Structure 1
Amino acid sequence: MALAKPKVAIVGAGIFGLSTAYYLAEDGYDITIFDQHAYDSNEGYKLNPCTTAASVDENKIFRASYGDEIYYQRLAYEARAIWKEWNDEMGPGKELFMESGMLRVQPSDELDELEKQTLANMTKEGLRDTQYILTNEEDVRRAERNGWAHKLLKFSIPESDGKRAFEAVLDSTAGYVYPSAGCAYLAEKLHKLGAKFIEGPEKGVFKSFRIEGEGESKRVIGITTADGKEHSADLVIMACGAASAMLVPDVSRVLEATAGSVVTVQLPPRDQVPEIWDKYSQENWPVIIGHDPDPTGKDVGSRSIYAFPRTDDGLIKIGYRVTKYTNFVKLPGFDRPISVPLRPGIDDTSLPMISVKGIKTFVSTFLPDLAALPISATRLCFYTDTVDNSWLIDYLPGYNDTLFMCTGGSGHGAKFTPILGKYVRDVVQKKPKTELTYHWRWRPELPLGNGLEEGPDGPRTLDKQERATPKDLERAGW
């Protein structure tokens, strides 16, 4: 007689929680998912003024460009195949993955080391023909033959003494996904598999662990929610995104909540500017990701500003992750301040002026048609950064394999929605670690990096930032 699968409580109904829940439920686990937001209401997975969660968003980049981290490249292409299967299941007009391509813009007229490593790994995997270098004549001819030449875009990059040349690579396998719709789709699949959802204020809010025993016999036997109810479980999986460190103090030194800046620009009605609607459609315009094109010519060091093709509603989203802002608070039970998401009710639309300036320069350079339009909406989107940008997916020591962490997306998790839970399940089931799951292990021995070493005295804290005013948002560019 087969043994019953463990009863699992998953705290967090975002990408990490849902993907994990789906693969465990497929394998017969008894799953209950908790979340503070009432995603099971008529509103579903939609942005609202109190949702800073990264999983709830209009669109996120799909890319497989990971430099020398070939394990993430391979995982991305595995996920891509399932996104396409989901597209077929959803049907025309309801796709969850858009193959717009992505133009990776360099800060100079030469490929940087990250790009060289990416192309080397693409070549190793037999995928070089999917990549098109802007100044490579053979690549340009191949792009013309394959219908991608119109997305090999050229721009005029400002510099202190005029204009400078730049290099770019078009990835025809990249594009973007719809994370909110993807979450809703997974939630629907989970309902059909018999998973239970407990969501909303009070009843879905994690309050504390239920712990049994002490010392070496200590175990987590469930959770208590804010309404006072106790929920038993054989295994508790914390998939809480940016709230992870504040809910599980043990991990507060190896990951932290950081905020990216997001703006959207609303195009005028289609009948007024049909050529603009056509230009920025996903059929004609790629995702663009590039460096902050600083007018002084100074390289900011990372490709961290990006823009999407327009949505069906005529919205164009631009994101800024050059600076990842922190929000340190002192919480009861912690010996030091930690960075946490903004509390519900706190304004999450007031962006730091440095982000707005960077976005304006980016728009003026790469999306000049939008420069005169107002910024229609702003948002701080909270991610969970780890010390090395690899996720934290492992049992937390000291609880006899009853407490499991599934978090640390570090701004690149959404693209893996369809496949992430498959590998989380392998870790839950203690299968031998692969190169991939080794990077996700509990790793407190790593030195602090990726900004976590700064702490509350660092320059990125939100309380140190000049905030943009409504007047600053009147124009999307300079």
Structure 2
Amino acid sequence: MSSPESNVIIVGGGVFGLSTALWLARGGYKNVTIFDRCDFEKNHYNPSNGCDGASADINKIFRATYGSKSHSQDLALEARDIWLEWNQAIKNSDPSELPDPLTPEDELLTLCGVFHLADGPELIDLYNENLRVMGETAPSFRDLQFVKNSDSDERRVNSLGPNWAKKYHRFDTFRDGRTNGFLDAGSGITLADKVMPRFFFYLSWVNFYQACVYARHICLKAGVKFILGRPQGDIKSLIVDESGSSKRVTGIQTQDGLRHNADLVIVACGPWSSSLIPDAHRSVEATMGTVMFVDVPSDRQDLRARFHPDNFPVWRFLEGEGDSAYEGGGFPITKEGRIKFGFRARKFTNFQAHPSQESLKISTPRTKYSPNPINTVPLYGLKQMKRVIGGLFPELTEIGFTDSRLCWYTDSIDNEFVIDYVPGYSDSLFICTGGSGHGFKFLPILGKYVKNQLERNPDRFTPLWKWRTVEEGKKCNGLEEGETGPRDMSKLKLASPHDFHFRINSPL
């Protein structure tokens, strides 16, 4: 078990690694070092500069509604308070005190609103539950949520001002009005562009990879050390000592051949975690969502104004069940004119031989920056997105999708995080992952509760985040499928550049 005197190595400098390091250092830990193959000192977590982890993206959703999972709702609201504190700290900073490229004009959290939509005229059970739990446990936040097609809620949202009234009615005509949902004015997005003037941030989002830049900055101030880039920050293997009665991890070896000793190694590698810990391949799995972009030309100021965050919220849309389901959404336009759309109802896998155990196959991320790079997406997801987005925004079909990205998540068997000691290593190896597509928003606060698990101080998250694996005969979020499952990329047809275009006047 760890203590403030422990020599701690954290493998992975994304959300889980940064938050853990920050709370350990602030809790008195004197020797915490983060290793990562990405040189965040130079690329600032920017996905266009070679970063391909889930913690590097142009924007992400911040939401607080979790239905009956009140523990996640409470964690999001606790994180939200710290996001706003960080905003104020940045605003009050001298420019020389901030890490490049942050300035005092930047905000990490801005609340532009999230519109939760679903197919059909009646509010779906999930949304009813979201609103009920929020009303019972956080009534002041519930006051910021407005049900679609409600006269009383329309009056309430109008009191917030004309921009919120526009957002409330933004999806009125979609499917001839036969949609349900609610606008959450207390939530927003993460956005990567840091140079927008403050008037652009009318309401609320999180400046995504700049948030990681700031988190790394305050980690450094707290005493956390970083070894970044290839080969010195790139992990080759764990060092495992099996000479005693029980095996222990005694450190890591990096690709430059150096060995780094540690009392405790924390693996926070996201979808690469099982590549380093083979034992975890039935506990977490790398799965891929489909992300598409529309780049609106500068001469289409009408479209840039329509999708501007002053006038347009984040949106999510749910439809159907099973393989035919749609779960996806989109974001306001960035300053450069880029609109991002995501689809994740059916997430895909990529089974390859494990790097240290060739007899074992695990799902392994494949990105634009992998040794075998990929610059397209599965055709299945793209067709679904064209159908829904073409119906929502026919004005964008003439432009078509202009770029794509495979976004790799780390799914657990139940979408709860996996934050615990790995069995069989005498409390020398700890895993901190399983974001399951909803981990980033917790960056400011997650490490507080990771520290509890490290020090074996039970809290409400302990039974939820404990080490667990696939149970035979049960559905476990797709992890039960393994390499023979239908979602593996080897079984998929990939989209061609022609498929990025919408066929005008075709049925959607």
TM-score (norm 1): 0.92
The C-alpha deviation readout for 1:64-108, integer Å capped at 9, x for no partner, is 111110100010011111111122222364111220111100121
Q: Secondary structure at the match of 1:122?
A: helix
TM-aligned CA distance change 1:82 to 1:193, over 3 Å: same
Question: Is it true that 1:400 corresponds to 2:426 in the alignment?
Answer: yes
1: distance between equivalents of 2:84 and 2:434? 26
1:454 Cα offset (Å)? 1.6
The answer for the alignment partner of 2:35 in structure 1 is: 34
- C-alpha contact 1:291 1:300 (8 A) present in aligned 2: no
Equivalent of 1:347, from 370, 373, 376?
373
Structural RMSD (CA): 2.1
Equivalent of 1:263, from 268, 283, 292?
292
2: distance between equivalents of 1:301 and 1:320? 12
The answer for the alignment partner of 1:119 in structure 2 is: 131
Equivalent of 1:383, from 394, 400, 409?
409
The C-alpha deviation readout for 1:16-63, integer Å capped at 9, x for no partner, is 11111111111232111111111122x221114754311111111000
- C-alpha contact 1:256 1:339 (8 A) present in aligned 2: yes
TM-aligned CA distance change 1:44 to 1:50, over 3 Å: closer
The C-alpha deviation readout for 1:237-266, integer Å capped at 9, x for no partner, is 000000011110111111110011111111
Question: Is it true that 1:149 corresponds to 2:165 in the alignment?
Answer: yes
Q: Secondary structure at the match of 2:315?
A: strand
1: distance between equivalents of 2:69 and 2:503? 35
Letter of the 1:114 counterpart:
L
Question: Is it true that 1:463 corresponds to 2:464 in the alignment?
Answer: no
Letter of the 1:422 counterpart:
K
Give 5+ residue unaligned stretches, structure 1. none
TM-aligned CA distance change 1:134 to 1:299, over 3 Å: farther
1: distance between equivalents of 2:259 and 2:347? 37
Q: Secondary structure at the match of 1:217?
A: coil
TM-aligned CA distance change 1:402 to 1:298, over 3 Å: closer
1:156 Cα offset (Å)? 4.1
- C-alpha contact 2:410 2:435 (8 A) present in aligned 1: yes
- C-alpha contact 2:127 2:181 (8 A) present in aligned 1: no
Give 5+ residue unaligned stretches, structure 2. 92-103, 191-206
Question: Is it true that 1:313 corresponds to 2:336 in the alignment?
Answer: yes
1:299 Cα offset (Å)? 7.9
2: distance between equivalents of 1:165 and 1:122? 25
Question: Is it true that 1:360 corresponds to 2:374 in the alignment?
Answer: no
- C-alpha contact 2:35 2:227 (8 A) present in aligned 1: yes
1: distance between equivalents of 2:503 and 2:276? 38
2: distance between equivalents of 1:394 and 1:308? 34
Write the mapping of 1:439-450 to structure 2, written as runs, cut at 5 A: 439-444=464-469, 446=471, 447-450=474-477
- C-alpha contact 1:49 1:348 (8 A) present in aligned 2: no
The C-alpha deviation readout for 1:319-341, integer Å capped at 9, x for no partner, is 11122010001224254421111
The C-alpha deviation readout for 1:187-244, integer Å capped at 9, x for no partner, is 1112222222111122111112222344653221111111110101111000000001
Letter of the 2:23 counterpart:
Y
TM-aligned CA distance change 1:133 to 1:202, over 3 Å: same
Greater Cα shift, 106-115 or 339-348: 339-348
Greater Cα shift, 305-314 or 189-198: 189-198
1: distance between equivalents of 2:266 and 2:498? 44
1: distance between equivalents of 2:61 and 2:47? 18
Letter of the 2:439 counterpart:
G
The answer for the alignment partner of 2:25 in structure 1 is: 25
- C-alpha contact 1:52 1:341 (8 A) present in aligned 2: no
Q: Secondary structure at the match of 1:310?
A: coil
Equivalent of 1:170, from 164, 167, 183?
183
TM-aligned CA distance change 1:299 to 1:450, over 3 Å: closer
The answer for the alignment partner of 2:52 in structure 1 is: 52
Equivalent of 1:413, from 397, 421, 439?
439
Greater Cα shift, 205-214 or 126-135: 205-214
Letter of the 1:453 counterpart:
E
TM-score (norm 2): 0.87
1:8 Cα offset (Å)? 0.6
Q: Secondary structure at the match of 2:377?
A: coil
Q: Secondary structure at the match of 1:146?
A: coil
Greater Cα shift, 185-194 or 332-341: 332-341
Aligned residues: 464
Question: Is it true that 1:274 corresponds to 2:301 in the alignment?
Answer: yes
1:135 Cα offset (Å)? 1.8
TM-aligned CA distance change 1:4 to 1:266, over 3 Å: closer
TM-aligned CA distance change 1:244 to 1:299, over 3 Å: closer
